[in-house]
């Protein structure tokens, strides 16, 4: 069965702007969804057992290696079984939440999701990344060049590594309603929110029923 795999990495629950915009995508998506909320059930950080289990004969696995590999197998099979992806990954301290990095480390495995001899098995499948941030990081903004999240995800998820067809949606200035010094930027924040929700709805509708790559 094909499905949308939705990976949530925000710690804020329903208050999360990233999750709110993702809901606009989900409202338009018509089809099965597998939702993994890393804030509720985080993937474990990659351990020595998990790394060595990948290159050790299964007959020689220790109990720790077998347990670690079972986690990887579950996450990887879930990842490979999807034909589209929705990643809710807000910016925390200029980069991705640690729970999302832990998930990536578990699923990025040579010979399974990665290939050195050709395209990844998920190459060409559509992926939408929704990444809210408290400030502005675009051209001309005071924090231009400090976004260490989107470029990293574009590289890891995109053509260079996993080969997904990645679209990024970045609701910006989410702290403007709460920080007095950002109040003059409220119109820019509101415009960013409207644009983000519209784009999420458009993608959710457009990707529904798209054949897997």
CA proximity to 89, closest of 33, 22, 145: 22
Residue 1 clears pLDDT 60, i.e. is over it: no
Residue 154 clears pLDDT 70, i.e. is over it: yes
Question: For the domain bounded by 4-207, which CATH number is listed?
Answer: 3.40.50.360
pLDDT number for residue 210 = 60
| Number of residues in the chain | 213
State the Cα–Cα distance between residues 188 and 174, nearest whole angstrom: 10
What mean pLDDT is predicted for residues 72-93? 97
3-class SS at 199?
helix
β 126-130/4-8 pair status? unpaired
What mean pLDDT is predicted for residues 107-115? 93
Residue 73 clears pLDDT 90, i.e. is over it: yes
Q: Say if residues 5 and 164 touch (Cβ distance below 8 Å).
A: no
Which string of DSSP letters, residue by residue, matches 162-174?
T--EEEEE----T
pLDDT number for residue 140 = 81
What mean pLDDT is predicted for residues 78-91? 97
C-alpha distances in Å from residue 25, one per residue of 121, 130, 167, 189: 25, 10, 12, 19
What mean pLDDT is predicted for residues 158-164? 92
Task: Give me 119's structure tokens.
Answer: 């395209």
pLDDT number for residue 212 = 46
Q: Which helix (H) or strand (E) holds 85?
A: strand 84-88
């Amino acid at each position: 069965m094909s499905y949308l795999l939705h990976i949530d990495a925000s710690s804020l629950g329903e208050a999360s702007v990233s999750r709110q915009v993702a809901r606009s995508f989900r409202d338009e998506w018509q089809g099965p969804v597998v939702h993994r909320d890393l804030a509720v059930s985080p993937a474990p950080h990659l351990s020595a057992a998990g790394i060595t289990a990948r290159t050790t004969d299964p007959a020689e696995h220790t109990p720790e290696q077998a347990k670690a590999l079972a986690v990887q197998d579950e996450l990887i099979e879930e990842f490979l079984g999807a034909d589209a992806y929705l990643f809710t990954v807000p910016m925390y301290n200029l980069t991705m939440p640690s729970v999302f990095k832990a998930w990536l480390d578990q699923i990025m495995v040579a010979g399974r999701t990665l290939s050195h001899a050709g395209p990844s098995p998920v190459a060409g499948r559509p992926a939408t990344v929704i990444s809210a941030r408290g400030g502005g990081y675009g051209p001309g903004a005071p924090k231009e060049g400090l976004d260490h999240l989107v470029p990293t995800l574009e590289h890891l998820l995109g053509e260079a590594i996993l080969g997904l067809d990645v679209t990024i949606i970045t609701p910006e200035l989410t702290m403007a309603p709460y920080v007095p010094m950002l109040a003059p930027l409220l119109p820019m924040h509101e415009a960013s929110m409207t644009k983000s929700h519209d784009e999420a709805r458009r993608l959710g509708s457009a990707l529904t029923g798209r054949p897997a790559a």
